[in-house]
Structure 1
Amino acid sequence: MFSPEGPTLRELAVQAMSSVERGYDLLAPKFDRTPYRTPDRVLDAVASALEPLGPFGTGLDLCCGTGAGTDVLARVCRGRVTGVDFSEGMLTVARERARPAGAAPAWVRADARALPFAPAFDLVVSFGAFGHFLPRELPGLFAQVHSVLRPGGLFAFPVAAPPPPGSRPYWALLGFDAAMRARNAVWRPPFVMYYRTFRLGQVGRELARAGFRTALHPLAEFGRRPDGSPRARLVTARRAPAPAGAATGAAVRAGS
């Protein structure tokens, strides 16, 4: 599961008994050599799905970690790319690994639930971070994303289909979430990381309440399940365009 250069079992145990922020600070130097880093296959599929929806201007990688998602933004955005995360350790690694073809990304330390930006972005992406937010936090999180997008801007993120009940992945995820809930019941500070709380139906409802118009795009690279449904989708949520005749500044229309 982990490469020889990845974290040891002891290091993972220390991380798991820390807060989310402290845990990722500790994990950061070896994060890219763990399964937690979004695979290049997913990043490439998302970039390919976004390209026909552009071009985009400025981009924000929400909960950017070590910056893998900013590579996607660099492919589809013409303007400045920014990564935001609350772990200074992850941002330090992101700064070190960044090899931009154009302008260097901006790296900002901040909580996704209180973003320090004006409506300055045409595209916001996020990869693999939503398990760190409890379901009750989604309305506030999506409201924050809405607030930093220009009119007509797009919020996009991939989601995998849930594993079939009774399958090995199903029991693995169920067991992980159960272990995490037990840990948080007896240990402080809590470490919020649940794989089964980010449900597509609820997510769609909360995005709509936040003012987004949502769509689902199958990621064909991952094929389909036996019932014909996609194994992975890209969720796109668009902030409403400015009213006809209103000033839109430097907003870039990202297509429909």
Structure 2
Amino acid sequence: MFTPQGPTLRELAVQALSSVERGYDLLAPKFDHTPFRTPDLLLDPVARALRELGPYETGLDLCCGTGAGLGVLREVCAGRAVGVDFSAGMLEVARAGGPAASYVRGDALALPFGPVFDLVVSFGAFGHFVPGQYPDLFGQVRQVLRPGGQFAFPLPAPPRPGSRGYWAMLGFDGVMRVRNAVWRPPFVMYYRPFRLGDVHRELGRAGFDVALRALPELGERPDGSPRCRLVVATRRS
């Protein structure tokens, strides 16, 4: 996809007609050659912001994929860094070429850890959860954080209504909803529902205090607001 090393159109079609887990298992060997891999352009500002918020000892990358976000944890955590993902194929690629870390296969809605982490991060995974799952997802994150630990993730500003990005996102979500209405198993990947207001409210209900930090390296919108913020949710004791 977009590069000679990326997946072919046929491979993407097979992935799209699979379950989420099976689809990512199939895509894993070529995932880092697609636009879906979180770019360093985003990872570097997040690492800078977290260095200012730290120090941290232990960190977890939730839905780590092939391990791009684990590089951030290795920068900001003095101790153990762990990646968790439910795709065995993605974890295999991460182990082979990712940062030095521990890799665990697990479900984000049933995390196999106690309260042992000071920091949880996640990059680009929230489209795989529908709004009704946010309480369980955020509850699981709270469960694995020590009191005072932080859950941090970048959240881009939504595209302006009528813009090219707005129509692209609306069209993608529409195609996915039609696909899931007529084909099984479902492939959950919706970009529009993960909105700041809803996320802020559900994090508060889950036992977090929420703060926002602009990521100025990623620029501003025409109205002067940040193009991307870092959501920092601190677990209450």
TM-score (normalised: structure 1): 0.92
Displacement of 1:119 after TM fit? 0.2
182, 190, 196: which is aligned to 1:194?
A: 190
Q: State the match for 1:148 in structure 2.
A: 144
Q: State the match for 1:253 in structure 2.
A: none
Q: AA paired with 2:107?
A: D
Q: State the match for 2:108 in structure 1.
A: 112
Q: State the match for 2:119 in structure 1.
A: 123
Kindly, what percent of the aligned residue pairs are identical?
Answer: 72
146, 170, 175: which is aligned to 2:171?
A: 175
**Matches of 1:108 and 1:88, distance apart in 2:** 9
1:43 equivalent in alignment to 2:40: no
Q: AA paired with 2:21?
A: E
Q: State the match for 1:5 in structure 2.
A: 5
Displacement of 1:226 after TM fit? 1.0
Does structure 1 retain, via aligned residues, the 8 Å contact 2:214–2:230? yes
Q: State the match for 1:245 in structure 2.
A: none
Q: State the match for 2:92 in structure 1.
A: 92
Equivalenced residues, count: 237
**Matches of 1:130 and 1:191, distance apart in 2:** 13
Q: AA paired with 1:211?
A: G
Does structure 1 retain, via aligned residues, the 8 Å contact 2:209–2:234? yes
1:157 equivalent in alignment to 2:153: yes
DSSP-derived class of the 1:84 partner: strand
1:133 equivalent in alignment to 2:108: no
Q: State the match for 2:224 in structure 1.
A: 228
**Matches of 1:34 and 1:126, distance apart in 2:** 18
**Matches of 1:81 and 1:223, distance apart in 2:** 30
Q: State the match for 1:55 in structure 2.
A: 55
Q: Which has the larger radius of gyration?
A: 1
**Matches of 1:97 and 1:220, distance apart in 2:** 30
Q: Deviations 1:97-118 (Å, cap 9, x if unpaired)? A: 124xxxx311000000000001
Structure 1: 5+ residue stretches without partners: 242-256
Q: AA paired with 1:157?
A: F
**Matches of 1:89 and 1:129, distance apart in 2:** 16
Q: State the match for 2:17 in structure 1.
A: 17
Displacement of 1:228 after TM fit? 1.3
Q: Please list every run of at least 4 consecutive aligned residues from structure 1 whose deviation after the TM superposition is greater than 4 angstroms.
A: none
Does structure 1 retain, via aligned residues, the 8 Å contact 2:64–2:85? yes
1:219 equivalent in alignment to 2:231: no
